Amino acid sequence: MPSVLTVLSILLLQTGAQGFGILPGSSRSHQEITEEAILNVTVQACRAQAEAENNDFTFPAQPFTATGVATACRAESSVKNFEEAITSITIRNIRVDLVEALNASFHFDDETFASGRNIITTGLQTVKANNRQQNFEAAQENLGGILHTLQDFYSHSNWAENGNTFPNSNLIRSDTSIGNIAGVDTPTCRSCDGDDCSNNILESITQNQILTTGYFGIIPVIDTKPSGKCSHGGALDVTSRIEPTGGINKDTFDSEHGFLHSTAAGLATSATSEILENIRQAAGNVPFLQMLGITRGSGNALCFVIDTSQSMSDDIAAVQSATSSFINTQVGTDNEPLFYILVPFNDPGFGPVTRTSDPEVFRGFVDDLTASGGGDEGELSLTGLRLALTNAPQSSDIFLFTDAPAKDQDLQSTVISLIERTQSMVYFLITGTPSNSRRRRRRQIDREVYSRIADSDIQVYKDVAQAAGGLVVEVEKDELLDATSIIGQLSSSSLVTLVRASRTPGQNENFNFVVDETTSNVRLFITGNPTSITLTDPEGDTLIIPDMGADLLVSPPQSVGNLQTLQLRPNVGTWQIALLATNPYTLRATGQSPLDFLFDFVEYIPLMNSFDVLDTRPSAGTNGTVLLRVTGSSTATVTEVTLVESAGSLQIPGEVESQGRSSYLARFEMVPSVPFVVRVKGNEVDATTGRAFPFQREVTTSLRASNLTIRAEAEGNLVPGTPFSVPFSVIANGIRGNVSIRVTTNNPLYNASAPSTLPVEPLVRANGTVMLSVPTNTPSGTTVSLVIEAMGPEGEDVNYIVLRISVLNPVTDFTAPVCELLSIVNCAQNGSELPWELMLLVSDGAEGSGVERVSLTRGNGTLNLRPAADNQNDTLVTYDAFCDSPDVELLVVDNVGNVDTCAFNAFTSAASILAPTSFSCAVLTLALAVLHSLDVC
């Protein structure tokens, strides 16, 4: 499952030993600093984009919230994706304290200025490269890590003590000096006067604006510090008891320099806004907002995985028609995907993966498909699905078309693992089943077509669909268009699941679900053709299908193949559906609502007195903890959290505790060994009447627990052509023997190898290493999705971990393009209605990466660009305007994301160069004007 909880709920870190605290309170936390900066810069980006589109922009109410900002950005359907992006960034920020707690460079401890800045600048290059490749989830993760280090600079150094009121902009640049850094032998502190550390930094350090940070260590005798140096301070820091005693950290108000906590937190917030602004300028407004989950459509991906074997020749034409119709219904709506992904497969071929954001280009990709190959007992359908899952963003909708069984059923556990991790929906549309062949013969259509897939072979698809909360729809080829249209109703923005279940074999059972006042477009999707369906609404009115009854439906039921769907009237309250069936069936009730939840399993870390997100399956049969956050509402409260068996009646209630800020902790006495879902119930308050009403939500994807625990951490970036090692470990609970190891990636050209087995003993860590490499021509910003699976000796118990590793080619260009003024036609002081003209050369230098973009950020004139005739790294720029608009500001960006701003005025021939990495007008507007809806610059 994705790491999507707020850090408030994820890490209840009490000590604050290695940075700003975690829990909100009187002191500022990493979470609050990060979230505030993201909300502020997002408002700026949306305002700039609205101005570029000549639209009005209204600032959201203070204090900013994800819902308010998304609404101001005209992207109301993006609230959940926006909150998920903020959470992903903040999780990675806080995780630095767990993974790199004693690595001084990640916290600017021990005067590690050079290595600390290198972490920031390398990470910044990676984020910009990720954005160029539209790998936004990897960008979020990399961004979170560098924000922690950046923020710690202001808490752990003496930047605030030296009287600075603006951030140190040189921390995010590689080509400048951070400042006057204390020498190795330069004393920086004296001992505190008891508990008073207000004057422990030497006057010579402050007067000469010398930079220092405190030393930190937790092992007595071994951890020490150079003579005369400052310490970090705090109960855990043993160096703070070595002369000079005390510390200088400003992590909380209770820290030794807590009197400057507010100042340090304010500087950290401004610095976070500044680096976000730098990323925004490098990417452009739209990609920057996409990185944060803010889009005008669904923000998700639409993936088609299509069997192109020879037997599908007739079906491919139907798939092409269905695809075109499906795209037409989504383009320009709130449901329009952010990406379209196509993965063809047959046997022995599969791929390549094609991804585009242009629906017409995608339509062309599908139209170009032709049938060839295949024809034996099965096709590589799960291989194609695996490629889609590893190349698609979170919460994607995947449609798989085939008429054959899966030849690669050994990948079933891998595919289910990826479904859990990405929370993607998978829908199988299958022709060539026995039931379809019988229908063909009964209708005397194509008598020579017989089923290629047996009932027993369909089960693997049903198992995968159950894990994904998807459907297996068995249709004839002339029904594909109707089937895709019906299933397409599940591919909508703000989709929530009210209840879901599957039963094999079928059985008579009643299911209850709640329709609340925020939910519309309520639909039931049922496969398996139950004998009868009885609906009872909150008023007690009953409808029996296929017979008649109360008018509870918006329109008559729709049926195609083995699927039927019903759209219910949105009567608020508790509904009941009774199914009579002997055949296996699935049920899913959905609606559209902004009210939903994000969640994750966590584990307690005793050493740090904290909780950390589980990147793998939780432990089976033991107690477990879920942390969740309600999204799309600031007034909803959670009253029940239950683990519900997906294919049975087992329900395990949790003990719910509010953590504030719409976040909750639920503790369970046992995590079931069978597949299960998380169900949340609570109350929402009507904003107009103040009346409370109940709501119910379920996570769509089934979850599993395991007796295996797998850990892995990829440090740094992957350089093309260079071997990259990923250490991992497996711990078995009650298992002895050989654990099978399998590693896969999202591209067959990427080479990953690991030991095929590891011997394990109960509760003993078994270690291994994955060796990974990518071709030398792999572009920077590419994301390698590495899946490491561990399977128990009996072959049934499986656990996994999925790592996103970024590719970054060595960067040698650290300077932004420069603007050289060639000519300017000045305005006369009294000629405000006359035109003026500017001509300049934007150059990235002979050794630079080249000018990527020159854009107008201020001015009402006309901008024209053309390449310089004698140098591909240069761009000639002309700008024409009238003298009543004398100011112009240009943003210049090179091909590795270095940015600068050039400002000119019509009444002078001199150019003013504004570096956005300094605390310039744009950031001043961000820090001040955003709060008052004013332009101060």
CA distance 797 to 185: 57
CA distance 894 to 897: 5
Q: What are phi and psi of 51, to 5 degrees?
A: -65, -40
Average pLDDT over residues 803-826: 91
Q: What is the pLDDT of residues 681-740, one digit of tens each?
A: 999 998 778 889 999 999 999 999 999 999 998 999 999 999 999 999 999 988 889 999
CA distance 482 to 561: 10
Q: What is the pLDDT of residue 447?
A: 34
For residue 853, what are the contacts with CB-CB under 8 A and spacing of at least 6? 284, 891, 892, 893
Q: How confident is the model at residue 19 (pLDDT cuts 50, 70, 90)?
A: low
Q: What are phi and psi of 929, to 5 degrees?
A: -65, -35
Q: How confident is the model at residue 434 (pLDDT cuts 50, 70, 90)?
A: low
For residue 82, what are the contacts with CB-CB under 8 A and spacing of at least 6? 42, 66, 69, 70, 75, 292, 293, 294
CB 624 within 8 A of CB 634: no
Q: What is the pLDDT of residue 3?
A: 37
Q: What is the pLDDT of residues 212-225, one digit of tens each?
A: 999 999 999 899 99
Q: What is the pLDDT of residue 716?
A: 92
Q: What is the 3 state secondary structure string of 535-563?
A: EECCCCCEEEECCCECCCECCCCEEECCE
Highest mean pLDDT out of 157-166, 375-384, 830-839? 157-166
Q: Would you say residue 8 has pLDDT above 80?
A: no
Please say whether the dihedral angle defined by the alpha carbons of residues 216, 219, 224 and 230, taken in this order, is positive or negative: positive
Q: How confident is the model at residue 829 (pLDDT cuts 50, 70, 90)?
A: low
Percent of the chain with pLDDT over 70: 90
CB 333 within 8 A of CB 294: no
Mean pLDDT of the chain: 88
Q: What are phi and psi of 276, to 5 degrees?
A: -65, -40
CA distance 608 to 22: 12
CA distance 877 to 897: 19
CB 468 within 8 A of CB 424: yes
CB 189 within 8 A of CB 202: yes
Average pLDDT over residues 628-645: 94
For residue 207, what are the contacts with CB-CB under 8 A and spacing of at least 6? none
Q: Would you say residue 418 has pLDDT above 80?
A: yes
**CA distances from residue 866 to 86, 851, 862, 877, 889 in whole angstroms, order as listed:** 39, 11, 14, 7, 18
CA distance 534 to 77: 33
Q: What is the pLDDT of residue 34?
A: 96
Of 874 and 142, the structure prediction assigns the larger pLDDT to 142
CA distance 532 to 564: 12
CA distance 420 to 699: 11
Q: What is the 3 state secondary structure string of 328-362?
A: HHHCCCCCCCCEEEEEEECCCCECCCEEECCHHHH
Q: What is the pLDDT of residues 325-350, one digit of tens each?
A: 888 888 888 888 889 999 999 888 88
Q: What is the pLDDT of residue 564?
A: 92
Q: What is the pLDDT of residue 146?
A: 97
CA distance 897 to 123: 12
Q: What is the pLDDT of residues 261-271, one digit of tens each?
A: 999 999 999 99
Q: What is the pLDDT of residue 684?
A: 93
Burial bucket for residue 2 (CB in 10 Å: 0-12, 13-18, 19+):
buried
Average pLDDT over residues 482-501: 88
Q: What is the pLDDT of residue 920?
A: 39
Task: At 858, list the tokens.
Answer: 């201020």
For residue 913, what are the contacts with CB-CB under 8 A and spacing of at least 6? 818, 819, 900, 901, 902, 903
For residue 923, the surrounding DSSP H or E stretch is: helix 921-924
Q: What is the pLDDT of residue 907?
A: 81
Q: Would you say residue 43 has pLDDT above 50?
A: yes
**CA distances from residue 45 to 34, 200, 279, 287 in whole angstroms, order as listed:** 16, 42, 11, 10
Amino acid identity, residue 800?
Y
Q: How confident is the model at residue 22 (pLDDT cuts 50, 70, 90)?
A: very low
Q: Would you say residue 608 has pLDDT above 90?
A: no
Task: At 657, list the tokens.
Answer: 């505790």
CA distance 217 to 236: 8
For the packed helices 381-391 and 455-468, what is the interaxial angle rounded to 10 degrees? 10
Q: How confident is the model at residue 25 (pLDDT cuts 50, 70, 90)?
A: low
Average pLDDT over residues 474-484: 86
Q: What is the pLDDT of residues 190-211, one digit of tens each?
A: 999 999 999 999 999 999 999 9
Q: How confident is the model at residue 444 (pLDDT cuts 50, 70, 90)?
A: very low
Please say whether the dihedral angle defined by the alpha carbons of residues 172, 176, 179 and 185, taken in this order, is positive or negative: positive
Q: 425-430 and 471-474: which strand pairing?
A: parallel
Of 312 and 677, the structure prediction assigns the larger pLDDT to 677
Average pLDDT over residues 108-120: 97
Q: What angle do CA 498, 502, 503 make, to 5 degrees?
A: 140
